[in-house]
Each structure stands twice: as structure tokens, then as C-alpha cells.
Amino acid sequence: MLAVYFDCPGGPENLYVKEVMKPQPGEGEVLVKVSASALNRADIVQRRGKYPPPKGASDILGLEAAGSVAGLGPGCKGRWKIGDAVMALLSGGGQAEYVTVPEGYLMPIPNDMTFIQAAAIPEAWLTAFQLLHFVGKIQKGERVLIHAGASGVGVAAIQLVRLAKAVPIVTAGTQEKLKAAANAGAAAGFNYKSEDFSEKVLEFTQGAGVDIILDCVGGSYWEKNLSCLSTDGRWIVYGLLGGGEVHGDLFARLLSKRGSIHTSLLRSRDKEAIIFKMLFFLQYKERLVKAFTEDVLPYFSRGASPHLETLIDSIYPLHEIAEAHRLMEENKNIGKIVIEMP
């Protein structure tokens, strides 16, 4: 099969498409013929050599894919049949013509949705759903600050916050991105490059601050985040685009607000790493996928109210994978960058 590959870490120019062995489904796994995948920040960092795949995962890039069931491994429980249209959250391997997936990680693609649209769902939407419901325990009426509001996770989080009858507030770096976030349902948006978002958030919330912060930036935002975090607020860190170092009295300020910090990396919850961490963790992704499939996926169907939508920035054929990486590195995309298989 064809797959994205790089021989040594570095820039986008190191990426190319090569022929590799097609994987075979193991116990409880499904072989999926991939029609489309999507690009994520983790792919960029892995290509640079700073984010190796979890033990036992494919070293091919790609954390999500949409396609059709092409084979069933031993021990499958009959959830899927050959030809079913499915999408999947992966620990790697999505940017290839075939990928194997534990059957519990697969989700059905709604009948009126294309593979291109479906490929933009698994990583971004499951990440946002996990952060808001499994980690943040979002409640009706709460205020949620979402950094990178026009990213794949950001656009998903805005709509999921609305679905939970809470209030989404975003930051972004351009007016175009703020407009896209507003179109997705953001109640307010602030340009972090031209204004102090913490002051604006406090002004918008009449001094109360936000109950949850979804933070993919990290260290460089810590003071402003704490300034606009409400009493008993939850600050959830799921990325470190702004670095991991903190200089200052973080704990005293956090303690003064009775705030809490949570961290989450969905990819690291792979099978090999969690076999020794009790059955609860072994089933974590399956529980997440099941909850999302039951509670959120129906709202993607045409005619559903409220209606959820993916936001796709651009579509690249597999052999132009380097150009797709360059676009993401330039931080110009609004929504997901989708990779189409030949």
C-alpha cells in the first residue's frame, strides 16, 4: 500500500509517499481501506522528531481516518461487516491506504456525510468532547474559554459547548479566524495579538471569569489564564504550543481561586501503555467513542436540531502531503486540513 513516510526528522520537505506492507488485522481489529485522513498538530511535531508514536502504534503519520471496512481480524464481535462506512480515532497510521483499528474505536459515518467530511471528525471532535465532558465535567450555563478557536478542536468545542447549553468564548490570531469562530457559535471572540484577552473575558463575563479553559498553548498564557479563571474554575491543558515553562507564583494564584489544573493527551492512551493500568484505562477510548457516538454523532445528520458541522479548510491529495504540512505550520488554516487517498 502507499503511505506517508519520512526517513529522518525535519521539515515538510522530508515527507514523501512510498510503498509499504499493508497491515493485517490482529485480535479484535478491523482493517479499514482509507478514503480520507486529516492533519493534526501532532503530525507536525512527530515529523520533527519530538513526538514519537506510543509503543505498539504505527509509525506512519495520521491520527484519524474515514473509509470502509475491508477485513476483520479474529475475535471481532460482529459490530461491523465488510463495506461498512466508518471513521476512526487512531494512535497512528491514518495517512496510508489501509489501517488497522480496534473495533471499539470505530464509528459509523452518517448516511448523508462524505468521507472527506467524516475524516475531519475523529481527532478534533473526540478531543473536544473528552476535554469538556470526561475531564471538565461541563455544566449548563457555564462559561468556557477556548484558545485557538478556529482550529479543528476549537470549532468542535464551540459547537459542543453550545450543545451542552453553555457559553463558548474564544481567542484567535486574526479577524478572519474570529469570524469563523463566531459563525460556529462563539458568544465572544478576542484577538490575542492585538488585545489582552484576559481583560476582555472579564469584561464580557462582568468580572466573573470563565469556569473552564481549554488551553493548547500552555506556559506563555498562564498568567492571563489565571486572571480570567473563575473561583473553582478548571484549567485544562492539552497542548504546549507556547512552551511548557512557567515563571512566577502559579500555585499561589491558583490556590487563591481554588482552581484546578487538568492535563490530557488522548493519543497516549494506547493499548500497550495501558494494559498494566487496570481495566478502566483499557476501556477509556472505547467508552469515549461509545459516548460520542450515542450523544453527539446523531446531530451531524441532515435535519438534526441543533445541527453540528465540520469546518474544512482545504483538501490535499496524498502526494501533496508536504504542502499540507507547510500550510499548517504557517498557521493559516481555518478548520481542518484533509488528506485524500488516491
- C-alpha closest to that of 341 among 171, 72, 119: 119
How is 258-309 classified by DSSP, letter by letter?
T-EEEE--STT--HHHHTTSHHHHHTHHHHHHHHHHHHTGGGGSTT-SS---
Dihedral sign from CA coordinates of 49, 52, 53, 59: positive
**Which of 42-46, 246-250, 270-274 is predicted least confidently?**
270-274
- Residues 144-162: pLDDT tens digits? 999 999 999 999 999 999 9
- DSSP summary character for residue 316: E
The structural domains of the chain, ordered by start, are 2-123+310-340 (3.90.180.10), 136-263 (3.40.50.720)
Residue 180 C-alpha cell reads as 469563523
What is residue 272's predicted lDDT score, i.e. its pLDDT?
Answer: 43
pLDDT tens digits, one per residue of 201-255: 999 999 999 999 999 987 678 889 999 999 999 999 998 776 677 777 778 888 8
- Tell me: pLDDT of 332 over 60: yes
Q: pLDDT at position 254, please?
A: 84
